[in-house]
Chains A and B, each alone.
Chain A
């Protein structure tokens, strides 16, 4: 079963990371799911693949009534991000899925009907959660061509999807980055290979540099906090991506 850890809490406003499943088979990439709560409602960010639904559901249930999840935010279309959609919808058919318009006719192959999807334009947009305004931030081509991050201005948290992801070894399973230089080695190969555009990366770095961010939360690996957020943005800005020597 996965574990949950509260990474931000202020009144009814809360961020919970759902992470690290020891029972996960080796052939599945490890994923982080995040639950944003506000005034009794929940938004689940990148709920994960169908195979890990029981682990996510059970960990989440220990923290929050899953029937109060009103929506899902999918950063992009990958199966490790959103293939559990039909299971969540079966649990609550009223749930909405917020996703880039680009994938609005692709993701329904995982589940859902037309009404399920609240599509977001390329420039991003606002997602309301019980009065809390969350901002979908463009991160296209990093790695998906229709890719969005989610920024919570009040919590100062940026959910960055695959940006910042690291494939960590078994002996480095901490939730937060503790030694940036040591950690980033596990992120480098991933970013070089998965991120497709230096131009898009440049734009993203400029865009998020203007945001006030305490925590940068990727879908894989550890969370960057404090000064490590800026370190990561600078490191990413300098990294050459989209190059593969076959």
Chain B
């Protein structure tokens, strides 16, 4: 009987290999953990940017008030952008919670994988010890359950990232609409255009971050 370590039997994503920029020797749970950490860093970046939108929107609301009737539409959109910023931060907080659960799960698999390997070696040395085989079988079952939980968490996280991406699409529409409204800002048109341009840039930055998340090797992508 050939006994392979459980950690080598089930990689986190079918056919998973390290992507460019990832250590070539890394695979399975270790690679997953690295990818999760990188996703988390990207989420932290988005949270910072979302906070920036909130401040920008607040300033835009004051500017629209000063512009008066000519910037009524711009004011409404600025308010919506503040709501967008709040929704985005909540969405990112939810992603962070999911990431935390994943880190706990994947870390446990990573910790177990060394012991799986040791037990597999022991079983190769003593192939006819029934109790040892039972330990290995229990570990395999436990590992299989953990892999299933991780797969489920991975799907949930991907869905949550997709939801966040849809939210950002809405933010993009709001930013573009603010650009159009800025053109009707009479004497404040230049200032309003500048602010709406900044909104657009920031939302694009978030969109780009979320695209990077969706392309992560953790979800089977190449980034």
Contact = CB atoms under 8 A, between A and B. Distances in A.
Partners in one complex: yes
Interface of A: 1, 50-51, 53-55, 57-58, 61, 66-67, 86-87, 90-92
A1 B131 contact: no
A51 B115 CA distance: 9
A57 B133 CA distance: 13
B131 A54 contact: no
A153 B183 CA distance: 98
Contacts of B115: 50, 86-87, 90
Given A58-B122, A66-B131, 5 more contacts: A51-B118, A87-B122, A90-B139, A91-B135, A92-B131
A140 to B, nearest CB: 32
B118 A55 contact: no
A124 to B, nearest CB: 32
Contacts of A51: 118
A58 B118 contact: no
Contact of A61 (B114, B119, B121, B129): B129
Contacts of B131: 66-67, 91-92
A55 B124 CA distance: 11
B14 interface: no
Contacts of B139: 90
Interface in B105-138: 114-115, 118-119, 121-122, 124-126, 129, 131-132, 135
A58 B135 CA distance: 15
Given A55-B125, A57-B125, A50 B132 contact: no
Best-surrounded residue of A53, A55, A57 (most CB of chain B within 10 A):
A57
A88 B203 CA distance: 55
Contacts of B129: 61, 66
A84 to B, nearest CB: 8
Best-surrounded residue of A50, A67, A91 (most CB of chain B within 10 A):
A91
Nearest to A61: B126
Contacts of A67: 131
A87 B118 contact: yes
Contacts of B132: 57, 91
A53 B124 CA distance: 12
Contacts of B119: 87, 90
A53 B135 CA distance: 14
Contacts of B135: 90-91
Contacts of B122: 53-54, 57-58, 87
Given A90-B135, A91-B135, A1 B118 contact: no
Nearest to B121: A54
A92 B121 CA distance: 18
Contacts of A61: 126, 129
B132 to A, nearest CB: 7
A61 B123 CA distance: 11
A57 B121 CA distance: 10
Contacts of A86: 115
Contacts of A66: 129, 131
A50 B118 contact: yes
Nearest to B136: A90
Interface string B186-223: 00000000000000000000000000000000000000
Contacts of A57: 122, 125-126, 132
Nearest to B114: A50
Contacts of B121: 54
Task: Pick the 9 closest A-B CB pairs, nearest first.
Answer: A58-B125, A54-B122, A54-B121, A61-B126, A57-B122, A58-B126, A54-B125, A53-B118, A67-B131
